[in-house]
Chains A and B, each alone.
Chain A
Amino acid sequence: AQSVTQPDIHITVSEGASLELRCNYSYGATPYLFWYVQSPGQGLQLLLKYFSGDTLVQGIKGFEAEFKRSQSSFNLRKPSVHWSDAAEYFCAVGSGTYKYIFGTGTRLKVLA
């Protein structure tokens, strides 16, 4: 069955520290992969997406993600976290339709 796993429910980092959020997927076909961010009371904002090509994808707000087919992973990274990055982050997989499967999310807390 198709699924997305985000193993970390909560992550706390200090401002200025680096960040890596993990995402593993199970998908039979070639996946389309996404990272979204959701601030409290808001909808989802797309950070970046991977369809094909270069496996290192650059997104908005200084985020990047690397697609590793052998590990079925699409981890999100940021070299230096800002207090405004505190939010919930969702990994999602699709197949060329808009029927996305989302992970359960990782809530990021940033310490000043």
Chain B
Amino acid sequence: KAGVTQTPRYLIKTRGQQVTLSCSPISGHRSVSWYQQTPGQGLQFLFEYFSETQRNKGNFPGRFSGRQFSNSRSEMNVSTLELGDSALYLCASAGLAGTDTQYFGPGTRLTVL
């Protein structure tokens, strides 16, 4: 079974631009969560989508948004990039129940110049 895939793996943008990251979950998984990982703040929950609906949301500004498609693939968008948005963005997929194991992808390393 293929794992969680994230594209692209690396991305360089400049301040003010926007960026879209993609995540393909494990086949059969309908929950996709996004996390931001930085040296200063650690791993922080962004949001979770389940069956195309946002089910949970973290404490991030509205510049961070996401969506999920009918095939469970998810995209995350960050508008008006700031230097502080430089981070590793991790996607995780899981099954129906909140007690299922979350499987993480390798992440997208975003650098904002």
Which of A32, A36, A99 is B99 in contact with, Cβ under 8 Å?
A32
Q: Which residues of B contact A49 (CB under 8 A)?
A: 101
Q: Which residues of A contact B99 (CB under 8 A)?
A: 32, 51, 96
A42 to B106, CA, bound (A): 5
Chain B binding surface, main DSSP class? strand
- Whether B43 pairs with A98 at a CB distance below 8 angstroms is no
- Whether B31 pairs with A98 at a CB distance below 8 angstroms is yes
Nearest A-chain residue to B4, judged by Cβ: A43
Interface size on B, residues (CB 8 A): 25
* B48 at the A interface (CB under 8 A): yes
Which of A95, A100, A103 is B102 in contact with, Cβ under 8 Å?
A100
Given A98-B98, A99-B33, A102-B42; 18 other pairs, CB 8 A cutoff: A32-B99, A42-B107, A43-B4, A43-B107, A45-B104, A92-B43, A96-B97, A97-B48, A97-B55, A97-B56, A98-B56, A98-B94, A98-B102, A99-B45, A99-B56, A100-B43, A102-B43, A102-B44
Task: Show 25 residue pairs from A and B whose CB-CB distance is below 8 angstroms, ordered by the A residue.
Answer: A32-B99, A36-B104, A42-B106, A42-B107, A43-B90, A44-B90, A46-B103, A90-B43, A92-B43, A94-B98, A96-B97, A96-B98, A97-B55, A98-B31, A98-B33, A98-B92, A98-B98, A98-B102, A99-B45, A99-B48, A99-B56, A100-B43, A100-B45, A102-B42, A104-B42
**Chain B residues within CB distance 8 Å of chain A:** 4, 31, 33, 35, 42-45, 48, 55-56, 58, 90, 92, 94, 97-99, 101-107
